């Protein structure tokens, strides 16, 4: 058992607030700094299904990657979905803490976890944080143990991440050889030009839009592998839980941690063609 303020301090040592983008909102959303924390649930999204899971388990703190509030609010009435969520947490005596772009840029952070899940090694930031720490920054670039065709790489990505209805889709010649890979957990099409300049064979990210992707293909960019946003950030959760446990145990404190496996990808249905019988997994071969 440990006080919430000590858990927050440990989380901020792991995910320094100064790494946060100016538009972002991270840190403690609700919770009494003097409250005792026994159980901490880690999840990607602060949504009702995650709060159900947290309260069923008896969590005292929920740590999410995505912020609950990104824009200023004038109230948290329980008549709104977000206000309801805050009420449920406070009524149960549970806090909410978010580590978003600071966790993206931290080392180890969200992008190290994604790179490790894909088996990449010799990783370095795609966009260095500029704070003098060569390991911190946005995205990661790394190398596969062996070169492999894009079809095999897509299978690798699908096997490494939690299953979602949308699955994994890719753009590029199926036989193109992939050895160097850039990754960016979450929405990464703003980094397409940077990825092209990095000269990698493939880029794994989420929420790739039609026009930027099409233009990247027309200009001879790398193969693009588009995964579910939630799935791209999920590998961070077990890392963060283990790091918090270690950080607190160094200070003589213990908490019980749990990683949410509740899928919070908003997309829940996917078909490749009407009545084709095609399912997820099959399209990776095409
Ligand atoms: Zn995200």
Instruction: Tell me the pLDDT of the chain (286 aa) as tens digits.
Output: 799 999 999 999 999 999 999 999 999 999 999 999 999 999 999 999 999 999 999 999 999 999 999 999 999 999 999 999 999 999 999 999 999 999 999 999 999 999 999 999 999 999 998 888 899 999 999 999 999 999 999 999 999 999 999 999 999 999 999 999 999 999 999 999 999 999 999 999 999 999 999 999 999 989 999 999 999 999 999 999 999 999 999 889 999 999 999 999 999 999 988 865 555 454 444 3
Q: Is 36 annotated as a binding residue?
A: no
Look-up of token digits 């159980």? 39
CA 19 – ligand 1 centroid, Å: 16
Q: Give the pLDDT of residue 14.
A: 98
CA 93 – ligand 1 centroid, Å: 26
- Rounded CA gap, 200 and 120, in Å? 13
Q: Give the pLDDT of residue 282.
A: 46
Q: Give the pLDDT of residue 286.
A: 35
DSSP E strand stretches across the chain: 2-3, 27-30, 36-37, 39-43, 61-64, 95-98, 121-128, 137-149, 169-171, 177-187, 202-206, 223-227, 256-259
Q: Is residue 187 part of a domain?
A: yes
Look-up of token digits 């329980």? 78
Q: Give the pLDDT of residue 16.
A: 97
Q: Give the pLDDT of residue 24.
A: 96
- Rounded CA gap, 230 and 205, in Å? 11
**In this structure, are 99 and 117 located in the same domain?**
no
Q: Which two tokens stand for residue 194?
A: 């940077």
**In this structure, are 13 and 69 located in the same domain?**
yes
Domain count, the chain: 2
**In this structure, are 36 and 138 located in the same domain?**
no
Domain span holding position 121: 107-227
Q: What is the CA radius of gyration of the chain?
A: 20
Q: Which residues surround ligand 1, an ion (CB under 5 A)?
A: 186
In degrees, rounded to 5, the angle at the alpha carbon of residue 53 between the alpha carbons of residues 105 and 46 is: 40
Q: Is residue 281 part of a domain?
A: no
**In this structure, are 111 and 222 located in the same domain?**
yes
Q: Which two tokens stand for residue 173?
A: 């010649």
CA 55 – ligand 1 centroid, Å: 23
């Amino acid at each position: 058992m440990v006080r919430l303020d000590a858990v927050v301090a440990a989380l901020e040592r792991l995910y320094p607030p100064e790494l946060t983008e100016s538009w972002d909102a991270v840190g403690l959303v609700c919770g009494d700094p003097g409250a005792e924390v026994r159980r901490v649930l880690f999840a990607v999204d602060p949504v009702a299904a995650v709060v159900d899971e947290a309260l069923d388990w008896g969590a005292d703190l929920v740590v999410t990657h995505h912020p609950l509030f990104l824009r200023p609010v004038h109230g948290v009435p329980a008549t709104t979905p977000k206000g309801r969520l805050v009420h449920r947490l406070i009524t149960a005596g549970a806090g909410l803490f978010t580590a978003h772009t600071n966790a993206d840029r931290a080392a180890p952070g969200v992008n190290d976890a994604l790179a490790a899940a894909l088996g990449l090694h010799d990783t370095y930031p795609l966009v260095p944080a500029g704070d003098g720490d060569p390991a911190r920054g946005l995205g990661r670039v790394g190398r596969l143990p062996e070169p492999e065709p894009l079809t095999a790489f897509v299978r690798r990505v699908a096997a490494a991440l939690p299953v979602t209805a949308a699955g994994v889709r890719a753009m590029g010649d199926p036989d193109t050889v992939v050895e160097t890979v850039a990754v960016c957990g979450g929405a990464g099409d703003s980094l397409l030009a940077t990825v092209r300049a990095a000269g990698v064979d493939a880029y794994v990210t989420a929420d790739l839009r039609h026009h930027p992707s099409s233009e990247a293909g027309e200009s001879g960019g790398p193969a693009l592998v588009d995964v579910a946003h939630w799935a791209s950030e999920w590998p961070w959760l077990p890392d963060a839980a283990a790091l918090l446990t270690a950080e607190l145990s160094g200070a003589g404190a213990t908490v019980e941690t749990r990683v949410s496996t509740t899928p919070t990808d908003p997309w829940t249905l996917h078909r490749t063609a009407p009545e084709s019988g095609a399912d997820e997994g099959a399209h990776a071969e095409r």
